[in-house]
Amino acid sequence: MLDRSAFYPGGGGQPPDHGVLLWGGVQTRIVDARKGDDLYLVPAEGDPLPDVGATVRGAVEDPRRTALMRTHSGLHVLCGVVFRDFGALVTGGNMEPLTARMDFNLETVPAGFREAVEAACNTELRADRQIVVRELPRDDAFQIPDIIRTATNLVPEDVKEVRIVHIVGLDQQADGGTHVASTAQVGRIRVVKVENKGKGFRRLRIAIDEL
Ligand SMILES: [Zn+2]
């Protein structure tokens, strides 16, 4: 457990960062992280552990983190497009680096749905929309209609400041995850599959490709 750390602990469907701690000429590989009251970094089995009170440097594994940022921002683009064009709300989601699924409440799947969603997502990526992260007092945050749509029941009562991720012109959500700075940095979105999981329950599987 560190007094401060840049490792993302996981949450909101985004898995934790991996990386290393460097100290005393050795390194401890970090293969997982967990957020309770504190942030716990999970070392690789058998790696040396620093003593309590030791000063360490942390390094986040960049290829994994960057892939997760692109994937997470890509999911917000998908969410924005499916709501705008089909009026469907998100009911769940999960991601791994460059692959993800998102669940929607959508009564019927129109003909050409998969192709239409993919094309609209990639139009938004090419438009290079800015992605802005800011914190707002709770009452101000819940004045934003989009936030009410996605998060009213997800943000605990005692949270006073709500972190907002805004894809300018497309989507705003209360969100704790890590994101790229603009939609062009995501790459391309491929809608791999649309699954029917029951009445009104559609699962979209996507992959993030290079431009
Ligand atoms: Zn998110």
Q: What is the pLDDT of residue 107?
A: 92
Q: Determine contact, residues 174/145, Cβ cutoff 8 Å.
A: no
38 pLDDT more than 90:
no
The pLDDT value recorded for residue 108 is: 92
Dist. CA 51 → ligand 1 center (Å)? 36
Please give the pLDDT value at position 75.
97
User: What stretches of the chain show up as alpha helix (H) in DSSP?
Assistant: 62-86, 113-126, 138-141, 145-151
Asked if residue 164 lies in contact with residue 76, where contact means CB atoms within 8 angstroms, the answer is no
- Residue 184 one-letter amino acid: A
Mean pLDDT score of the chain, rounded to an integer?
A: 93
149 pLDDT above the threshold of 80: no
The number of C-alpha atoms within 13 Å of 17 and in the hemisphere containing its C-beta is 22
- Residue 61's pLDDT band (boundaries 50, 70, 90)? very high
DSSP string, 85-115: HH-PEEEEEEEETTEEEEEEE-S---TTHHH
In this prediction, residue 150 carries a pLDDT of: 58
Q: Please name the helix (run of DSSP H) or strand (run of DSSP E) that holds residue 28, with its range, or none.
A: strand 26-35
pLDDT-above-70 percentage for the chain:
97
How many A from CA of 22 to the centre of ligand 1? 30
Q: What is the pLDDT of residue 145?
A: 81
Q: State the distance from the centre of ligand 1 to the C-alpha of 11, rounded, in angstroms.
A: 9
Structure tokens at 125: 């990526």
Residue 209 identity (one-letter amino acid): D
pLDDT tens sequence across 89-134: 998 899 999 999 999 999 999 999 999 999 999 999 999 999 999 9
pLDDT at residue 33 is higher than 60: yes
Query: Residue 50 pLDDT > 90, yes or no?
Result: yes
Q: How far is the CA of 2 from the centre of ligand 1 (A)?
A: 25
The pLDDT tens digits of the residues spanning 150-205 come to: 545 677 788 889 999 999 999 999 899 999 999 999 999 999 999 999 999 999 99
Residue 106 makes CB contacts below 8 A (sequence gap 6+) with 82, 86, 88, 200, 202
Residue 134 sits at the vertex; the CA angle it makes with 133 and 139, to the nearest 5 degrees, is: 135
Interval between CA 173 and ligand 1 midpoint (Å): 7
| Percentage above 90 pLDDT, the chain | 79
Count the neighbouring beta carbons within 10 Å of the beta carbon of residue 72. Answer: 24
The stretch 55-82 carries a mean pLDDT of 97
- Rounded to two decimals, the pTM is 0.93
